[in-house]
């Protein structure tokens, strides 16, 4: 029995630069108790589809241009605001992507939990505060909040990201909805937390008998949780079917491309490791003052971002550095490049020591080691053209002069796959993937020997991610690069690295050759991490979830 | 919170000391003595006067004794109003000015917040343009222009409202309060619109709507608190501005308050009165800045807890 | 070399649209802001040319004529001494605008230097510098300016300095906040990792990105400075006769507003119109230069 039946939904955005067809003729249905996953890259219209059902889109610019969405025989798209409130309160609940911003920082979580009950649009269903509190505490307990009675009166900032998402889930379930919309509920979370939250959603779905629309870009996550899958791209449905048929017998080009783009399996590129240490790091420590806490004895307490790390990187090697948020992996990279002051320890580049050099003395070394940053939106100066960005390192390090700089920049653009004609354009005129190409071009402009890539593909969609990874591998080969590849995404690291290090709270907990470590992790933290990775294969993924 | 307030008050002490010192030496380095009156004063009388006001002592001694008096809350005698102390004069003017400032603040907050919140609910529609255009007029129409124009229209032409005094005739408090409050109403309208627009795009507002809360509850409970924090932080500076504005408004409407005293003292070169009132105003403004800061912190649970934690 | 010129000619370059360009396009669609800009330019031109284009001489009295309502000879009427109001408003505008621009320039220089140094070096220096700003913020400046004018006489140079010294505080805060956030941006980090010198980073990466907010705030500081000047002049503590300013003219106008309302209304309109123009332009620039609106 379908509880939600969407037909021919069209949502257009009317912007200054014309009409954007965010959702164009989308139809689907959800049966009670089942899980429908809507999969797509950014801009595919997957979130807009669901928000339009609950009238949560900003209007203007959004406008619903057509279609119906019947829930219990009532069209959600045309019902009165009062009826919509009724549905929001009784029937359909949402879990949003970012638990950090989706809870009101000014109100206690308890107050936010009980709101739908104490302000219920049906006067007869309004509950007393004390009764609502009872139910909220019971739900908080169910979603795994320890000591819910006292946590009830805490503010959101007193919870970690994972705990906040648990609160959000409790909040969604408090009205006993029949349909739950989960909009990328684990995207903002670390992989181990993601595994816990997914398990929780699955369990609650069964005990509360609720249908779920699960929006995600991550096919691995979808493989384990969905009964039916809807693939969206550029506002239209590309394919729909049950999970196994989408993953194993897809007929659609786009779906196939999406599945093929997922980095899986071991490294493709042959190892080019030479028996010569290019980078030697010994007992490196980087500590910061913790300004958020009061001084003790006139000193700030220390955040030990990197705590006694020693490592070697051979010439030609790609070393993967894996860690969850706050593990200190970015700081380690910046410490090696001398972008943040080292508290203790020694960093060597070849035979020479980098630690202790003044900024002026470091200039010749800067040419030989470079960095690629995570966010292609923030890593390019918005007021400089591609030409200016790429020519700056060439001219500054004397690798080009006024006469040949143009041709050198053109060559660079060829190398990273940018059309030469875009030379005079500004960063905001490019897509995320193209921007990352510009940033990579800047990094290889000085013909460096060593590059640290700090999550270079995390901000990109999966198909773009695959292209950029291939570009990086090509460049490593053609330029004989040595690389430290920092990422939270274990599949990406496995795909690209010769050797892997696992960083946890500023300390290396395990390291080894990629495939050896994958086959036989020793440290419990590594084991848990590897167990938590979703696999984009329904049978394997379900088996994995069973085993946790 | 209490210790935080105490700490901040403690920090205000050196600031006040600087104010007193700078003002004292500024005033005493002014060319022309306080008794360079229109009529020539016989030298022996001048001498007696100077002795009476300690002006014959060295500067640093005068400074120290003044500082000692201020600590005890004694701002000394007035030069021009013979036989009256600065404390008495401030005491006489304060209730009037306080009342004027209070009404003006009511006008500013009431009109300003209403207009700003109304405008923010439907941005870029008439519901936004009309109050915001009015606010722009309020900002570009300074009190010394608005006051006389209001007098001209409502006092002289329409003869609806009295045009001078304070508390003498019914209704004579309306025009001064509006004149003083308008500019701040306009600022507050713009601030609260900006703050509300910022908050209304936050994810947690969407969450509140998705929960099925009605729009009034979403605005009142979820949006207002965050949206009005800029307004709360502005209250301290606004208060300082109101004091300054009272100079003009009290002059225009001939209201016997502190502002008018201050301007008259400036013209009369009544140095002790200027000195005393500057110290008094500074103290008030520092206290009000402190209060508005503390209110802004108290409204934000995270900051509130950090302060509690640091104690 | 030959080959280079060959490859150069092959490139069909599309010119990109810089953020400045985009901002200008957005501003040119904002008619209120454009009108503000137009009024402002007109006022500046008139002020510069006043000695040559003013219809009457500034001091020329005509006691027989006395105060007359606007007429063909005197478009904005005459004051009680028979002096042409249009001429007086033009001369007054010169002073008001000059105070606005010069005092803002003073605020700009101090504020940018202070804020940029604090923001760029950060750490303890920043803490000390911003603490000073906080303390100065807490001071009753209006009262101090009144005091200064009383003590040192009504000196126009002192007025510039005094007003400028008040207004730099906000500028310092804005610049510091901008520089601080830029310093932590990845593109500045990228510039460091390229080994660029500090000065190059400041010149090429920091300054161009702080310019937007500085321009906006400058446009909004000028009207608030002019307001302060008019306020003081109105109280008789600012510009002194025989110099004139709009605040002073309004002050005279109030004295005789019952009999000759135009003596109040015209200088009032001149002041309000200028403030409108500057505020609309400032708001327009803010919208146009706001990076958050630059993407759609």
* pTM of the model as a whole: 0.82
Residue C110 in domain: yes
The answer to whether A96 contacts B203, with C-beta atoms less than 8 Å apart, is yes
Residue B138: inside a domain? yes
- B3 at the A interface (CB within 8 A)? no
Query: Cα–Cα distance between A415 and A430 in angstroms, integer?
Result: 17
Domain assignment of residue C190, yes or no: yes
With an 8 Å Cβ cutoff, is A410 touching chain C?
A: yes
Query: Shortest CB distance from A425 goes to which of C3, C16, C194?
Result: C16
Tell me what ipTM this predicted complex has.
0.81
Q: Nearest chain C Cα to B29, which residue?
A: C151
Asked whether the predicted pLDDT for residue B59 surpasses 70, the reply is: yes
In this structure, the answer to whether residues B46 and B119 fall within a common structural domain is no
Up-side HSE of residue A234: CA atoms within 13 Å toward CB?
1
Cβ <8 Å between A54 and B207: no
Residue A410 is predicted with a pLDDT of 92
CA atoms within 13 A on the CB side of A406: 16
Specify whether B238 is located in the same domain as B114.
Answer: yes
The reported pLDDT for the residue numbered A544 is: 83
What is the band of C42 on the pLDDT scale with cuts at 50, 70, 90? very high
In a domain, C117, yes or no: yes
- The answer to whether the beta carbons of residues B107 and B182 sit under 8 Å apart is yes
Tell me, what's the pLDDT at C56? Answer: 76
Asked if A382's CB is within 8 angstroms of C19's CB, the reply is: yes
**Among the listed residues A145, A53, A158, A24, the one whose alpha carbon sits nearest the alpha carbon of residue A100:** A158
Place of tokens 């060593």: A450
Total residue count of chain A as it appears in this document? 548
Residues of C in contact with A369 (CB under 8 A): 193
Say whether both B22 and B102 belong to one domain.
no
Say which CATH number the domain at B170 has: 1.10.3720.10
Same domain assignment for residues A392 and A528: yes
Whether residue B260 sits in one domain with residue B113: yes
Is pLDDT of A112 > 80?
yes
pLDDT at A320: 92
Which domain covers residue C151, as residue numbers? Answer: 95-237+258-293
State the pLDDT confidence band at A341, using cuts at 50, 70 and 90: confident
Residue A147 lies in a domain: no
- B148/B206 same-domain check: yes
What is the Cα–Cα distance from B273 to B251, expressed in whole angstroms? 18
Full DSSP string of A33-100: T-EEEEE--TTSSHHHHHHHHTT-S-TTTEEEEEEEEEETTEETTTS-HHHHHHHHHHTEEEE-S-TT
Q: Can you read off the two tokens belonging to residue C194?
A: 């390229």
Q: Convert the pLDDT of each residue in A150-188 to its tens digit.
A: 889 999 988 888 888 889 989 988 888 889 999 988 888
Whether residue C11 is predicted with pLDDT greater than 60 in this model: the reply is: no
Do A290 and A210 share a structural domain?
no
Q: Which of A268, A263, A190 is nearest to A488 (CA)?
A: A190
Q: Classify residue B84: in a domain, yes or no.
A: no
A131 in a domain, yes or no? Answer: no
Distance in angstroms (rounded) separating the CA atoms of residues B122 and B126: 8
Q: With 70 as the cut, is the pLDDT of residue A443 above it?
A: yes
State the distance between the two ends of chain B, measured CA to CA, in whole angstroms: 8
Specify if A23 maps to a domain. yes
Alpha carbon of C206: minimum distance to chain B alpha carbons (Å): 26
Per the domain annotation, does B256 fall within a domain?
A: yes
Each residue of C71-88: pLDDT tens digit? 777 777 777 777 888 888
A126 at interface of B, judged by CB pairs closer than 8 A: no
Tokens of C1: 């070399």
- Which chain C residues are Cβ-neighbours of B141 within 8 angstroms? 272
Domain of B145, in residue numbers: 90-310
> Is B139 within 8 Å of C275 when comparing Cβ atoms?
yes
Q: Rounded to whole angstroms, how far apart are CA atoms B6 and A111?
A: 32
Domain ends where: A260, A294, A326?
A260
The string of pLDDT tens digits covering residues B214-261 is: 888 999 999 998 888 889 888 888 888 888 888 889 988 888 888 888
Same-domain check for residues B236 and B128? yes
- Residue B63 class from Cβ within 10 Å (0-12 exposed, 13-18 middle, 19+ buried)? middle
Q: Is the pLDDT of residue C90 over 50?
A: yes
Q: Strand A211-216 vs strand A228-233: parallel, antiparallel, or unpaired?
A: unpaired
Task: Tell whether B155 and B47 lie within a shared domain.
Answer: no
Please state, in angstroms and rounded to a whole number, the distance separating the CA atoms of residues A222 and A239: 15
What residue numbers bound the domain in which A537 lies? 277-546
Give yes or no for a contact between C201 and C145, defined as CB atoms under 8 angstroms apart: no
With respect to residue C41, please indicate whether it lies within any of the assigned structural domains: no
The answer to whether C276 and B305 are in contact (CB under 8 A) is no
Residue A243 contacts residue A35 (beta carbons within 8 Å): no
Q: What is the pLDDT of residues A390-425, one digit of tens each?
A: 999 999 988 888 888 999 999 999 999 998 888 888
d(CA A529, CA A494): 13
Rounded distance, CA A278 to CA A264, Å? 29
Whether residue A135 lies inside any domain: the answer is no
Q: Does B168 lie in the same domain as B25? A: no
Q: Are residues A244 and A302 in the same domain?
A: no
Q: Which residues of A touch C9 (CB under 8 A)?
A: none
Instruction: Check residue B33 and give its pLDDT.
Output: 57
CA distance A110 to chain B (A): 14
- The answer to whether position B127 is within a domain reads yes
Whole-number average pLDDT of chain C:
81
CA distance between the termini of chain C = 42
Tens digit of each residue's pLDDT (9 = 90 or more) over C223-274: 888 888 888 888 887 777 777 888 888 888 888 888 888 888 888 899 999 9
pLDDT higher than threshold 60 for residue C57: yes
Domain shared by B139 and B220, yes or no? yes
Query: Measured between CB atoms, does A548 come within 8 Å of chain C?
Result: no
Q: What is the CATH number of the domain that holds C164?
A: 1.10.3720.10
pLDDT at C2: 36
Mean pLDDT of B193-218: 90
**Residue A252 bridge partners (DSSP):** none
Beta carbon pairs, A and B, within 8 Å: 83
Q: Which residue has the higher pLDDT, B225 or C289?
A: B225
Looking at the predicted structure, is the pLDDT value of residue A438 above 90? yes
β-sheet bridge partners, residue A31: A2
Distance CA A318, CA A500 (A): 9
- What does the buried/exposed string (b/e) look like for A61-92 if buried means 16 or more CB atoms within 10 Å of the residue's CB? ebebbebebbbeeeebbebeeeebbbbbbbbb
- C261 CB neighbours in chain B (<8 A) are 152
Q: Do B30 and C279 touch (CB under 8 A)?
A: no
User: What is the average per-residue pLDDT within A15-36?
Assistant: 87
Q: In chain A, how many domains are there? A: 2
Count interface pairs A-C at CB distance under 8 A.
110
Task: Give the pairing of strands A318-322 and A499-504.
Answer: parallel
**What is the DSSP track for B31-100?**
SS-TT--SSPPPHHHHHHHHHHTTTTS-HHHHHHHHHHHHHTT---B-SSSTT-BHHHHHHHHHHHHHHH
In a domain, B85, yes or no: no
Q: Is residue A154 part of a domain?
A: no
Backbone φ/ψ region at A328: left (φ over 0), alpha (ψ -120 to 50), beta: left
Q: How far is CA A389 from the centre of its chain?
A: 27
CB proximity B235 to A under 8 Å: no
- Residue B260 forms part of a structural domain: yes
CATH number at residue A61: 3.40.50.300
pLDDT class of A437 with cuts at 50, 70, 90? very high
Domain total of chain C? 1
With respect to residue B81, please indicate whether it lies within any of the assigned structural domains: no
Does residue B282 surpass a pLDDT of 90? no
Residue pair A532/A195 in contact (Cβ under 8 Å)? The answer is: yes
User: How high is the pLDDT of residue C3?
Assistant: 39
C128 domain-assigned = yes
Kindly state whether residues A348 and A491 are assigned to the same domain: yes
Token reading at A105: 């920082």
CB contact under 8 A, B144 and C250: yes
Dihedral of CA B101/B103/B106/B107: which sign? Answer: negative
- Per-residue pLDDT band for C8 (boundaries 50, 70, 90) equals very low
Give percent of chain C with pLDDT exceeding 90: 4
In the prediction, which pLDDT does C9 show? 40
Question: Out of B212, B309, B310, whose CB is closest to A116?
Answer: B212
CA B115/CA B135 separation, integer angstroms: 8
- What whole-number distance in Å separates Cα of residue A178 and Cα of residue A210? 5
Number of domains in chain B: 2
Residues A483 and A512 in one domain: yes
Residues A242, A346, single domain; the answer is no
């Amino acid at each position: 029995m379908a509880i939600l039946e969407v037909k021919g939904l069209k949502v257009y955005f009317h912007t200054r630069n014309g009409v954007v067809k965010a959702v164009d003729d989308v139809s689907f249905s959800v049966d009670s108790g089942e899980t429908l996953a809507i999969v797509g890259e950014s801009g595919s219209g997957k979130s807009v589809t669901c928000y339009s059902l609950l009238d949560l889109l900003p209007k203007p610019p959004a406008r619903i241009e057509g279609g119906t969405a019947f829930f219990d025989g009532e069209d959600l798209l045309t019902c009165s605001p009062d009826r919509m409130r009724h549905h929001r309160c009784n029937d359909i609940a949402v879990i949003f992507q970012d638990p950090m911003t989706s809870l009101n920082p000014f109100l206690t979580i308890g107050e936010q939990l009980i709101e739908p009950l104490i302000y219920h649009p049906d006067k007869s269903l309004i509950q007393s505060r004390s009764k609502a509190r009872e139910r909220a505490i019971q739900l908080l307990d169910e979603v795994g909040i320890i000591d819910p009675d006292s946590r009830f009166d805490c503010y959101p900032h007193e919870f970690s990201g994972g705990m906040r998402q648990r609160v959000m889930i409790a909040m969604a379930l408090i009205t006993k909805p029949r349909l739950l919309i989960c909009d990328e509920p684990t995207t903002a979370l670390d992989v181990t937390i993601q595994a816990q939250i997914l398990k929780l959603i699955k369990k609650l779905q069964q005990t509360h008998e609720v249908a779920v629309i699960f929006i995600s870009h991550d096919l691995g996550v979808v493989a384990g949780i969905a009964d039916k899958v809807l693939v969206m791209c550029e506002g239209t449905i590309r394919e729909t079917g049950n999970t196994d048929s989408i993953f194993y017998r897809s007929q659609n080009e786009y779906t196939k491309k999406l599945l093929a783009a997922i980095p899986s399996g071991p490294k493709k590129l042959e190892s080019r490791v030479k028996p010569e240490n290019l980078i030697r790091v010994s007992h490196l420590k980087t500590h910061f003052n913790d300004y958020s806490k009061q001084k003790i004895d006139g000193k700030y307490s220390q955040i030990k971002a990197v705590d006694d790390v020693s490592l070697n990187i051979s010439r030609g090697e790609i070393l993967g550095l894996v860690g969850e948020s706050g593990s200190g992996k970015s700081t380690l990279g910046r410490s090696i490049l001398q972008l943040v002051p080292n508290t203790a320890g020694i960093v060597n580049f070849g035979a020479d020591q980098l630690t202790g050099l003044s900024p002026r003395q470091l200039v010749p070394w800067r040419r030989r080691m470079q960095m690629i940053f995570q966010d292609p939106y923030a890593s390019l100066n918005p007021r400089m053209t591609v030409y200016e960005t790429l020519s700056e390192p060439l001219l500054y390090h004397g690798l080009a002069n006024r006469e040949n700089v143009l041709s050198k920049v053109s060559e660079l653009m060829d190398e990273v796959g940018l059309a030469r004609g875009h030379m005079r354009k500004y960063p905001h005129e490019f897509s995320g993937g193209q921007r990352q190409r510009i940033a990579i071009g800047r990094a290889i402009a000085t013909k460096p020997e060593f590059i640290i890539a700090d999550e270079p593909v995390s901000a990109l969609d999966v198909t773009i991610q695959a292209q950029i990874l291939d570009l990086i591998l090509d460049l490593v080969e053609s330029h004989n690069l040595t690389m430290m590849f920092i990422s939270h995404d274990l599949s990406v690291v496995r795909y690209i690295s010769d050797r892997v290090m696992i960083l946890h709270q500023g300390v290396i907990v395990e390291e080894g050759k990629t495939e050896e470590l994958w086959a036989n992790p020793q440290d419990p933290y590594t084991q848990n991490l590897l167990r938590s990775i979703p696999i984009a294969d329904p049978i394997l993924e379900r088996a994995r979830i069973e085993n946790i | 919170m209490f210790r935080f307030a105490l700490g901040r008050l403690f920090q205000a002490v050196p600031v006040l000391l600087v104010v007193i010192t700078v003002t004292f030496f500024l005033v005493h380095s002014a060319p022309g003595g306080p008794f360079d009156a229109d009529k020539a004063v016989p030298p022996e009388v001048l001498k007696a006067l100077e002795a009476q006001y300690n002006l014959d002592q060295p500067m640093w001694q005068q400074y120290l004794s003044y500082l000692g008096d201020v600590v005890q809350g004694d701002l000394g005698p007035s030069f021009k109003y013979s036989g009256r102390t600065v404390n008495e004069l401030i005491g006489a003017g304060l209730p009037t000015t306080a009342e004027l400032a209070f009404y003006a603040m009511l006008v500013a907050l009431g009109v300003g917040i209403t207009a700003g919140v109304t405008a923010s609910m439907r941005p870029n529609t008439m519901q936004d343009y009309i109050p915001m255009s009015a606010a722009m007029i309020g900002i570009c129409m300074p009190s010394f222009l608005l006051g006389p124009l209001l007098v001209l229209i409502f006092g002289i032409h329409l003869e609806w409202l009295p045009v001078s005094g304070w508390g003498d005739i019914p209704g004579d408090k309306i025009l001064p309060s509006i004149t003083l409050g308008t500019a701040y109403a306009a600022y507050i309208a713009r601030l609260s619109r900006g703050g509300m627009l910022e908050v209304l795009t936050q994810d947690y507002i969407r969450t509140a709507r998705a929960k099925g809360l009605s729009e009034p509850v979403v605005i009142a409970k979820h949006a207002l608190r965050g949206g009005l924090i800029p307004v709360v932080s502005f209250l301290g500076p606004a208060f300082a501005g109101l004091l300054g504005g009272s100079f003009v408004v009290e002059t225009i409407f001939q209201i016997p308050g502190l502002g008018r005293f201050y301007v008259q003292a400036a013209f009369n070169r009544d140095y002790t009165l200027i000195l005393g009132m500057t110290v008094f105003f500074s103290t008030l403004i520092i206290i009000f800045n402190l209060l508005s800061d503390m209110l802004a912190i108290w409204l934000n649970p995270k900051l509130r807890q950090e302060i509690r934690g640091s104690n | 070399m030959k080959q280079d010129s060959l490859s150069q000619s092959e490139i069909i370059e599309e010119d990109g649209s810089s953020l400045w360009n985009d901002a200008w396009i957005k501003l040119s669609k904002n008619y209120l802001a454009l009108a503000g800009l137009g009024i402002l330019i007109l006022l500046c031109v008139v002020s510069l040319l006043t000695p040559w284009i003013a219809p009457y001489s500034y001091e020329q009295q005509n006691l027989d004529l006395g105060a007359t309502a606007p007429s063909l000879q005197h478009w904005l009427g005459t004051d009680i001494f028979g002096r042409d109001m249009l001429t007086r408003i033009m001369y007054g505008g010169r002073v008001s605008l000059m105070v606005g621009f010069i005092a803002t320039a003073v605020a700009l220089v101090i504020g940018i230097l202070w804020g940029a140094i604090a923001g760029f070096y950060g750490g303890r220096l920043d803490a000390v510098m911003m603490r000073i700003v906080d303390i100065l913020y807490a001071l009753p400046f209006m009262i101090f300016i009144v005091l200064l004018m009383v003590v040192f006489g009504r000196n126009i140079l002192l007025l510039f300095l005094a007003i400028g010294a008040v207004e730099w505080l906000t500028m310092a805060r804005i610049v510091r906040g901008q520089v601080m956030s830029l310093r932590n941006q990845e593109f500045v980090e990228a510039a460091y990792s390229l080994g660029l010198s500090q000065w190059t980073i400041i010149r090429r990466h920091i300054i161009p990105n702080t310019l937007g907010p500085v321009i906006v705030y400058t446009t909004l500081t000028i009207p608030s400075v002019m307001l302060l000047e008019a306020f003081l002049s109105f109280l008789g503590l600012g510009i002194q006769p025989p110099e004139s300013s709009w605040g002073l003219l309004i002050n005279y106008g109030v004295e005789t507003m019952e009999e000759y309302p135009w003596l109040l209304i015209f200088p009032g309109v001149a002041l309000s119109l200028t403030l409108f123009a500057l505020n609309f332009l400032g708001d327009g620039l803010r919208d146009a230069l706001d990076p958050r609106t630059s993407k759609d």
